[in-house]
């Protein structure tokens, strides 16, 4: 694995932590996971959330690294939260941007709640990937 890329086992650990976090934060709501193969169109429809502190130059460098690693088989899934009528990106912001810009789909771990509720992360939505980063 190239240094600086998120390995699949780390993403799996993060998925488990996020699911446990949501279970504690939203008692009475069950959270299940599924895996999905998102098309480029699906990736474009993802609601992009605030990715955290990072300069655009640093993000661009990491996206170049991801882009070149794809040829070597890099495909760590992103993590999304499924809501009624939308999917919210929780982790894998740069992977999603690279996939969309290259016209590719990408694998995702999908967190599926048993109830349609308002999540705090929704306050951090900046827009859909296709609208923010579309070509």
> What domains does the chain contain, in order, with CATH numbers?
8-133 (3.90.1530)
Tokens of 33: 């996971």
Q: How confident is the model at residue 135 (pLDDT cuts 50, 70, 90)?
A: low
Average pLDDT over residues 1-13: 83
Residues 44-65 have a mean pLDDT of 87
User: Cα separation of 127 and 105, whole Å?
Assistant: 19
The tens digit of pLDDT for each residue in 94-123 reads 999 999 999 999 999 999 999 999 999 999
Strand order in the sheet with 78-83: 31-38, 106-113, 78-83, 86-91, 47-49, 125-128
Q: Does pTM top 0.85 for this prediction?
A: yes
For 69-87, write each residue's pLDDT tens digit: 998 999 999 999 999 889 9
| Average pLDDT of every residue of the chain | 93
């Amino acid at each position: 694995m190239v240094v600086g890329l998120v390995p699949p086992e780390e993403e799996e650990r993060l998925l488990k932590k996020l699911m446990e976090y949501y279970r504690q934060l939203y008692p009475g709501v069950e959270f299940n996971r599924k895996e999905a193969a998102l098309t480029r169109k699906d990736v474009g429809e993802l609601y992009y959330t605030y990715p955290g502190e990072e300069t655009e130059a640093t993000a661009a460098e990491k996206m170049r690294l991801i882009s070149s690693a794809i040829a070597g088989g890099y495909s760590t899934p992103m993590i999304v939260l499924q809501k009624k009528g939308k999917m919210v990106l929780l982790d894998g912001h740069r992977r999603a941007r690279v996939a969309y810009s290259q016209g590719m789909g990408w694998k995702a771990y999908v967190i599926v709640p048993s109830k349609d509720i308002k999540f705090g992360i929704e306050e951090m939505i900046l827009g859909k990937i296709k609208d923010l980063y579309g070509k």
